[in-house]
Amino acid sequence: MLLVYTHKITPRVTYTFKHICKRILGIEVVFTSKVEDFIAHDSLKMSYAKQPLSNELFVRSNDLLFDSGLSDVEINVQTWGQTKGFFATSERSDLPFDIFAASFYLLSRYEEYLPHVKDDYGRFLASESLAYHHKFLNQPVVDIWAYKLKDVLQERFPNYNFPQRKYTVQPVIDVPMAYYYKNKGFLRTIGGTLNDLRRLKLKQLYERYTVLMGFKRDPYDTFKWIVRKQKSSKVKFIVLFLIGDYSTYDKNISTTKKDFITLIKSVADYCSVGIKASYFSLSDLKVLKKEKLKMEAITHVDLNAVRHSFSKLNLPLSYRNLVELEINQDFTMGYIDTLGFRAGTCTPFQFYDLDYEVQTPLQINPYHCLDFALLKYHSLLDKTEHLQKVIKAVKAVNGTFTPVFHNYSFSDLERWKGFRTLFNLILESEE
Q: pLDDT by residue (tens digit) across 212-263?
A: 787 888 999 999 999 999 999 999 999 999 999 989 889 888 898 999 999 9
Residue 206 has pLDDT above 70, yes or no: no
**Whether pLDDT at 431 is above 90:** no
Quickly count: other Cβ atoms within 10 Å of residue 360's Cβ. 17
Q: Would you call 278 exposed, middle or buried from its count of C-beta atoms within 10 A (0-12, 13-18, 19+)?
A: buried
- How confident is the model at residue 186, as a pLDDT? 66
- Residues of the chain with pLDDT > 90, as a percent, come to 85
* Residue 287 predicted with pLDDT over 80: yes
pLDDT in tens, 385-394: 999 999 999 9
Q: Which helix (H) or strand (E) holds 83?
A: strand 83-85
- Torsion, Cα 407 409 413 418, to 10 degrees, reads -140
Indicate if the pLDDT at residue 76 is higher than 70: yes
> Would you tell me how many other CB atoms lie within 10 Å of the CB of residue 247?
11
Report the relative pairing of strands 83-85 and 78-80 from DSSP bridges: antiparallel
**Residue 109 in this model has a pLDDT that exceeds 80:** yes
User: Does residue 365 contact residue 331 with C-beta atoms inside 8 Å?
Assistant: yes
| Identity of residue 310 | F
pLDDT tens digits for range 367-377: 999 999 999 99
* Alpha-carbon dihedral angle through residues 150, 338, 430, 235, given to the nearest 10 degrees: 110
CB count, 10 Å around CB of 28? Answer: 12
Q: Which residues contact 328 (CB under 8 A, 6 or more apart)?
A: 304, 322, 361, 362, 363
DSSP string, 120-165: TTSPBPGGGSHHHHTT-TTS-HHHHHHHHHHHHHHHH-TT------
Please state the rounded mean pLDDT for residues 394-421: 97
Q: What is the pLDDT of residue 202?
A: 73
What tens digit of pLDDT does each residue of 159-192 get? 999 999 999 999 999 999 999 878 777 667 677 7
Q: What is the pTM of this model?
A: 0.94
Half-sphere exposure of 46 (CA within 13 A, CB side): 23
Rg (CA), the chain: 24
Does the structure show a pLDDT above 90 at 133?
yes
Beta-sheet strand order (sheet of 272-277): 349-353, 358-364, 329-330, 305-308, 272-277, 238-241, 172-175, 403-406, 369-370
Rounded to 5°, the CA angle 157-162-166 comes to: 155
Residue 58 burial class via C-beta count within 10 angstroms: exposed 0-12, middle 13-18, buried 19 and up: buried
Angle ∠(26,27,33) on CA atoms, nearest 5: 145
In whole angstroms, how far apart are CA 431 and each of 24, 270, 383, 395?
21, 20, 21, 12
| DSSP category for residue 64 | G
SS3 351: strand
Interatomic CA distance for residues 231 and 225, integer angstroms: 10
What mean pLDDT do residues 289-311 have?
A: 96
Count of residues making up the chain: 431
pLDDT at 317: 94
Residue 290, CB half-sphere, CA atoms under 13 Å: how many?
Answer: 13
CA proximity to 273, closest of 297, 238, 245, 244: 238
Pairwise CA distance, residues 96 & 79, whole Å? 11
Angstrom distances, CA of residue 122 to CA of 244, 304, 310, 312, 380: 20, 26, 10, 7, 31
